[in-house]
Structure 1
Amino acid sequence: MDKKSSIFTATHGVMTTEVGVISGELELVTSCDDSGSLTLEITYVGAKEWYTLPGENYKLNDPSDHEVVHRMLAAVLERP
């Protein structure tokens, strides 16, 4: 399984399934397996609890797109 991680500051917040909106310095981790199944997790930097982004059954047609999708998500979540 391939994992990517990015740290960013969310000034307007990011919606999570478990606790609603979180903001501040966050870490996004995406994982993609060989079949293209994608998981999205987010946490406060340094925290132990991880949250999921709304939605389910994320799937990439080509697992080699994982890097691009991860960077795109981090950029979108960070924008004001």
Structure 2
Amino acid sequence: MEKKTSIFTATHGVMTVEVGVISGELELLTTCDDEGILTLAVTYVGAEEWYTLPGQDYRLHDPRDHEVVHRMLATVLERS
């Protein structure tokens, strides 16, 4: 399972399943397994508790696309 993380600042916030909208300096974690199953989580930088992003059953056609998808998500969430 491959993991990627990025730190970004969300001034307008990011919606999470567990606690609703969070904002500020956040860290995005994406994981992708060999089947292309993608999971998305976010936390406050330095915190231990991770929150899931809305949606489910994310799957990449090719797991090699994980890096590109991760970078796109981090960029879009930073604009939030």
- Name the TM-score class by shorter chain: over 0.9
Match of 1:49 in 2: 49
TM-score normalised by structure 1 residue count = 0.98
Unaligned runs of 5+ in 1: none
Moved beyond 4 Å, runs of 4+: none
**Equivalenced residues, count:** 80
C-alpha distance in structure 1 between counterparts of 2:44 and 2:22, whole Å: 8
**Aligned-pair CA distance for 1:12:** 0.4
C-alpha distance in structure 2 between counterparts of 1:63 and 1:73, whole Å: 15
3-state secondary structure, aligned to 1:40: strand
Unaligned runs of 5+ in 2: none
TM-score normalised by structure 2 residue count = 0.98
Q: Alpha carbon RMSD of aligned pairs, Å?
A: 0.6
Identity of aligned residues (%): 79
